[in-house]
Amino acid sequence: MKNFFVKSHGLGNDYLVVNSLDINFELTEKNIRTVCDVHYGIGSDGILVLVDTDKADFGLRILNPDGSEAEKSGNGLRIFAKYLFDYGYANSASFTIDTLGGVVQAEVIEQEKGKARTIQVDMGKAIFEANKVPVKSDQPECLDEELYLDWTSYLINCVSVGNPHCIILKDELSVDEIKQVGTHIENHPKFPNRINVQFAKVISPDLVEILIWERGAGYTLASGSSSSAVAAMMVKKGLTNRNLTIRMPGGELKLQIDEDWQIRMTGEVREIASGYFSAELLDDLNS
């Protein structure tokens, strides 16, 4: 099916999915920006590309709307798993997916009318070593470290779940504030690969509310890797149980953090639309 795409969302975090063998345009930075733009393209928080791999059942590239490439995406992985299941690529409910951030196991755990609805992803292990996040730090792990912006400062906690995350504990969560400071934290020189940012408020040992500023995408309604990172960090800091819910503006994910820091994430995915890139858009992408 030449130039076929599917658009789906995980709790309001939306992605286009394409098969690399089916598209008639290059995934250049300019083309990715156009396709993800809601006015000039289809509009999305990123593009998920099915690619060949010899390391797992399926290979996945995760492209941010600014044209950069992410190592991991929690919502992206659930959306991609639904695509593989619903469109007949996967012949069982459980399969492996190779990402730049490692191989993950995905399992369709709830179906509706033969389509995947709820998906569990084994997100891999949380990594706290500062140089592996990566974050520049004098300490082996970046925990409660002061990050200075020109007009304010924050206590930051950094972790990698395949992609890098910077978590700031807050008594109150403000969407205006994360939208104002997100880009300054994302692009701070302390983070050699830039970083995803979360404001987190612990509601109870079983529930944490977060706001998200995504690297390469900006403010989003939900993020699976952010939820995974926050859950692991809250457990590390002794603030929550190992089984917890992460609540975001777009909805909730269930997280389980094992003793060895292995992360399991469970949540819904819904398809929005499917279709074909129009000939005129393809002309623009190829010009």
Residue 141 counted as an annotated binding residue: no
| Residues 6+ away with beta carbon under 8 Å from 113 | none
Among 44, 120, 163, 198, binds ligand LBFN2T5F (CB under 6 A): 163
CB atoms under 10 Å from CB of 228, counted, come to 28
State which of residues 105, 120, 223, 240 lies at the interface with ligand LBFN2T5F (CB under 6 A). Answer: 223
Which one of 52-60, 151-159, 202-210, 211-219 is the stretch in contact with ligand LBFN2T5F (CB under 6 A)?
211-219
- Of 16, 44, 47, 74, the residue at the interface with ligand LBFN2T5F (CB under 6 A) is 74
Residue 240 binds to ligand LBFN2T5F (criterion: CB under 6 A): no
Is residue 99 at the binding interface for ligand LBFN2T5F, with CB under 6 A as the rule? Answer: no
- φ/ψ of 201, rounded to 5, equals -125, 120
Per CB under 6 A, 44 contacts ligand LBFN2T5F: no
In angstroms, rounded to a whole number, what is the distance separating the alpha carbons of residues 160 and 225? 9
CB 224 to ligand LBFN2T5F: min, Å: 4
Exactly one of 23, 32, 70, 178 binds ligand LBFN2T5F (CB under 6 A); which one? Answer: 70
Which of 157, 154, 210, 160 has the alpha carbon at shortest distance from 184?
A: 154
Residues that bind ligand LBFN2T5F (CB under 6 A): 13, 62, 64, 70, 73-76, 163, 196, 214-217, 220, 223-226
